[in-house]
Amino acid sequence: MCPPADQTNGVTKDEMVPIDNSNTPHIPPPTNETNGKSEPPPVKSHKGVYGRASDFLSNTSNWKIIESTLREGEQFANAFFTLEKKIEIAKMLDEFGVEYIELTSPAASPESRAHCEAICKLGLKRTKILTHIRCHMDDARLAVETGVDGVDVVIGTSSFLREHSHGKDMTWITKTAIEVIEFVKSKGIEIRFSSEDSFRSELVDLLSIYRTVDKIGVNRVGVADTVGCADPRQVYDLVRTLRGVVSCDIETHFHNDTGCAIANAYAALEAGATHVDTSVLGIGERNGITPLGGLIARMMVADPEYVKSKYNLSMLREIENCVAEAVEISVPFNNYITGFCAFTHKAGIHAKAILANPSTYEILNPADFGMTRYVSIGHRLTGWNAVRSRVDQLNLNLTDDQVKDATAKIKELADVRTQSMEDVDMILRIYHTGIHSGELKVGQSAVLDKLLDKHMPSRETSPSRANGANGTPAKRPRVEETA
Amino acid sequence: MCPPADQTNGVTKDEMVPIDNSNTPHIPPPTNETNGKSEPPPVKSHKGVYGRASDFLSNTSNWKIIESTLREGEQFANAFFTLEKKIEIAKMLDEFGVEYIELTSPAASPESRAHCEAICKLGLKRTKILTHIRCHMDDARLAVETGVDGVDVVIGTSSFLREHSHGKDMTWITKTAIEVIEFVKSKGIEIRFSSEDSFRSELVDLLSIYRTVDKIGVNRVGVADTVGCADPRQVYDLVRTLRGVVSCDIETHFHNDTGCAIANAYAALEAGATHVDTSVLGIGERNGITPLGGLIARMMVADPEYVKSKYNLSMLREIENCVAEAVEISVPFNNYITGFCAFTHKAGIHAKAILANPSTYEILNPADFGMTRYVSIGHRLTGWNAVRSRVDQLNLNLTDDQVKDATAKIKELADVRTQSMEDVDMILRIYHTGIHSGELKVGQSAVLDKLLDKHMPSRETSPSRANGANGTPAKRPRVEETA
């Protein structure tokens, strides 16, 4: 079993303030360009300011996920999924709401075949099951007997792969593709035909075979950036061209070697693609493909209502933790949505604005994913507005001038070393007591130092005490990322 | 000090074959569209197949890095840089070859000011030093006294920030900007003026103020996606429009909340931008900005010769390890270029093609970064070509039929649990001895089992022994990511 979803993902919240903005939700911008729509969701609101004219071919509000953790993800260096783990992941993805899951070819090994058959018998509530095979009749015959809802066929069409992988020409590819497609169709299940390494294939060859398979009735054609070389403008151009050639759905698959896997998926949907391949945390060959969570983050900007209506977003963290544990990796510190700092604000001016309206420095609302916003406070870049928020949370009675005065002391101490939340709270309580007992007045820094020395005798204030012999701070915020 | 660059980044190479393709370098594709250029570098070769017409405004072969680990990176939740660490990072970035580093505003705290002054006195060989300030005369006066080569000025121009952050209108912003810019220019150092949250700002307001500051002679204007909402087509449109309005350089800054930070930087350069802000591993507010290594990966596709001529690429891993250690994070498993599996190939068909020509499944050449390619072998998706490669490395004398036969046994065993490299080597040696002693013939699976039982008595073969009680494999490849 997977560990329970851990809200904090292991990060120590030492010097952070959880901010409750429940009374100040994302507010639409005060612009006259929102066209009077009734209460647009805040993450959409920028579209009115700097969007594009509507495009009837764009599918950014109408698209499906083909979740390939159990196929592409099994090609990740560390992956070894037992049947039990595959079943657990398949059930979670079904509950999350992905439209398809894709499984390793039953031709890969007897165990792969047995796993495929077992998952087909689960009776998933919503998710259809695909398997991914080479364009070969032997593989196709095996695949249709497993009980899958559809078969994803792939063959390399680039000159690279035609020369160095299967060694076949386009005539052979076309002939074999037709045979495999007609066989799978005769079994009454879905069929997709994809090229491999599409962005290094001859455009005319590509379009020609796509047109052929579209005419014989495939459900989808697939475009794949197998090596991760494509950029969003190339993707847009190819998919938009293809959209004019075929009438079937268009599936897309992007590797992330050069950092464009999410942006390319988005560009493909803008150009008229209908399906995006993902894997949990993006695991796959090399550094992987479009991550499920990253795609969700991007699509939330395009149409949050569509995404929220289709997917059980609060499960994202649990699914990621489950897969990370299975393949023995840590969730990256900078992971989309669920990374430990995805909703942590630190700079003083950011903190100030976030407190006034979260939309100022957030395009995603953490509450949509069952996450929480944090404002970091005990560091040298802090600002008095963030401290004001903490003072209010502690129910301390201080004026703005007093808060600014206390903030100056926090910054002074934090310049030597980062202050924990516990330290900051203690400083604020001592400051508060000093003010209300009459011992302390605004601006009396030396008096405050004495009060702190008296009530926090163990605190480290001098550089020589705070820093280790090698110049590194003796105490720093710790991140213990969980798998 | 930072730990020495670790080639393996902690991954156990148990079931992987390091592949020496030194005799089969990336080969240009056999296409007639390479226009007869003399020996194009392989990573460029796809451009001839599916590229775009040349564009005289594109700067993908002529751009500069503004490295902001010591400014944006200091706003990362975990960051607390001592002066010693800042100096170490600054020197490494100078040696790597970035054109600029950007430092936290001296107005942020007395320590920030002292750090800025100390770094300016280092006498970096190549890298210019900038500091990043609010659009305010007080900050500007402090900045010009630190010894920096230039000042980056920023102010929020979106309706969100004008309402909830500084509360000023465009007239005030313009007036203040002019005052600050003319003051900094009078000191004879570089000046950049940037809007904040540019993609949620009014286009006409934006262009108006950019035109104004361009006319009074700023070195650069800056476009910033402060909340990470922009997509590459929006970026292309805005930067291309701006390119027609100003004659100065255009700097760009992209947050990564929705996964487009690298693609957006690339789109900006295509549209005519000249400078890209980065940080090491992308650290910054929330989940950060365009990562230095990720940008390098992307630009290597556009023009590898330009990138290799400007930057000391083999230092990338060392710099990332240094910063990761300083802020106490692990390098993400899927990090660009230096992630432990960035050049690991697993599926059988991938392994086969990689052995014939690395360009088939790689757009980046690991050797350019001092990295090594691996082909994973002891798993259920393995193929006989990868095993052939290992047989040859072990100097074993086996025919292709024999290798295929041995591969079938490896797959059979790997279906139960992943086999370590040690296991695979032992199986191959036993197979080899059996064949040459006459004890074993191709196809005699049961005989081979007996030989394995005899010579590898401790091996785990049955599912009940291999798997723990909870269904997870008893032995799996381990990843111990180093900081």
Q: What pLDDT band is residue B395 in, cutting at 50, 70 and 90?
A: confident
B48 vs B297, residue with greater confidence: B297
Out of A11, A259, A479, whose CB is closest to B263? Answer: A259
Cα A48 to Cα B356: distance, rounded to the nearest angstrom? 52
Q: Confirm or reject contact between B360 and chain A (CB < 8 A).
A: yes
ipTM, two decimals = 0.81
Cα B241 to Cα B234: distance, rounded to the nearest angstrom? 11
Residue B480: pLDDT over 50 = no
Per DSSP, the three-state class of B182 is: helix
Q: Which residues of chain A are within 8 Å of residue B288 when distances are taken between CB atoms?
A: 334
Contact (CB, 8 A) for A377 and A357? no
Per DSSP, the three-state class of B205 is: helix
A328 vs B126, residue with greater confidence: B126
Per DSSP, the three-state class of A142 is: helix
Out of B236, B285, B415, whose CB is closest to A350? Answer: B285
Interface test with A, best of B14, B131, B231, B258 (most A CBs within 10 A): B258
Contact (CB, 8 A) for A43 and A303? no
Q: Write the DSSP string, A343-358.
A: TEE-SHHHHHHHHH-G
End-to-end CA distance of chain B: 13
Cα B215 to Cα B270: distance, rounded to the nearest angstrom? 24
Task: Copy the structure tokens of residue A80.
Answer: 């070894």
Contact (CB, 8 A) for A440 and A434? yes
Q: What is the pLDDT of residue B52?
A: 59
B162 vs A256, residue with greater confidence: A256
Cα A335 to Cα A340: distance, rounded to the nearest angstrom? 8
Contact (CB, 8 A) for B373 and B366? yes
Would you tell me the crossing angle of helices A170-186 and A137-144 to the nearest 10 degrees? Answer: 20
Task: Copy the structure tokens of residue A57.
Answer: 């071919």
Residue B45: pLDDT over 70 = no
Q: What is the pLDDT of residue B415?
A: 83
Chain B nearest CA to A134, separation (Å): 10
Residue type, A200: R
Contact (CB, 8 A) for A329 and A78? yes
Average pLDDT rounded to a whole number, residues B217-231: 97
Cβ of A165 and B344 within 8 Å? no
Chain B nearest CA to A347, separation (Å): 6
Q: What is the pLDDT of residue B458?
A: 65
Render the burial of B383-411: b for 16+ CB within 10 Å, e for the rest.
Answer: bbbbbbbbbeeeebebeeebbbbbbbbbb
Longest dimension (CA), chain A: 92
Tally Cβ neighbours within 10 Å of residue B97: 16
Residues of A recognised as catalytic: 350
- What order of strands is seen across the sheet that includes strand A16-18? A16-18, A374-376, A344-345
**Residue B166: HSE in the Cβ half-sphere, 13 Å Cα cutoff:** 17
**Closest residue in B to A13 (Cα–Cα):** B77
Could you tell me which of B269, B243, B301, B292 has the C-alpha nearest to residue B93? B292
Point out the residues of chain A with pLDDT beneath 70.
1-53, 160-162, 164-167, 348, 458-483
**Measured CA distances, B257 to A36, A261, B444 (Å):** 28, 14, 56
Q: Confirm or reject contact between B29 and chain A (CB < 8 A).
A: yes
Contact (CB, 8 A) for B347 and A75? yes
Q: Write the DSSP string, B146-179.
A: TT-SEEEEEEE-SHHHHHHTS---HHHHHHHHHH
Task: Copy the structure tokens of residue B226.
Answer: 């402060």
**Measured CA distances, A388 to A341, A401, A410, A425, B103 (Å):** 22, 10, 12, 12, 27
Q: Confirm or reject contact between B328 and chain A (CB < 8 A).
A: yes
Q: Confirm or reject contact between A163 and chain B (CB < 8 A).
A: yes
Cβ of A362 and B227 within 8 Å? yes
Segment A189-221, tens digit of pLDDT: 999 999 988 998 889 989 999 999 999 999 999
Task: Copy the structure tokens of residue B390.
Answer: 């290992």
Contact (CB, 8 A) for A154 and A196? yes
The stretches of B244-338 forming alpha helices (DSSP H) are 261-271, 292-302, 304-310, 316-326
Task: Copy the structure tokens of residue A276.
Answer: 């995006």
Average pLDDT rounded to a whole number, residues B452-472: 53
**Bridge partners (DSSP) listed for residue A222:** A194, A251
Cβ of A50 and B238 within 8 Å? yes
Longest dimension (CA), chain B: 92
Segment B69-111, tens digit of pLDDT: 999 999 998 898 999 999 999 999 999 999 999 999 999 999 9
Chain A nearest CA to B456, separation (Å): 23
Q: What pLDDT band is residue B381 in, cutting at 50, 70 and 90?
A: confident
Chain B nearest CA to A259, separation (Å): 6
| Contacts with A, B 287-316, CB within 8 Å | 287-288, 291, 294-295, 297-298, 300-301
Task: Copy the structure tokens of residue B42.
Answer: 């392989």
Specify the residue for token string 């007609």.
A182
Cα B248 to Cα B176: distance, rounded to the nearest angstrom? 20
Contact (CB, 8 A) for A422 and A14? yes
Q: Confirm or reject contact between B83 and chain A (CB < 8 A).
A: yes
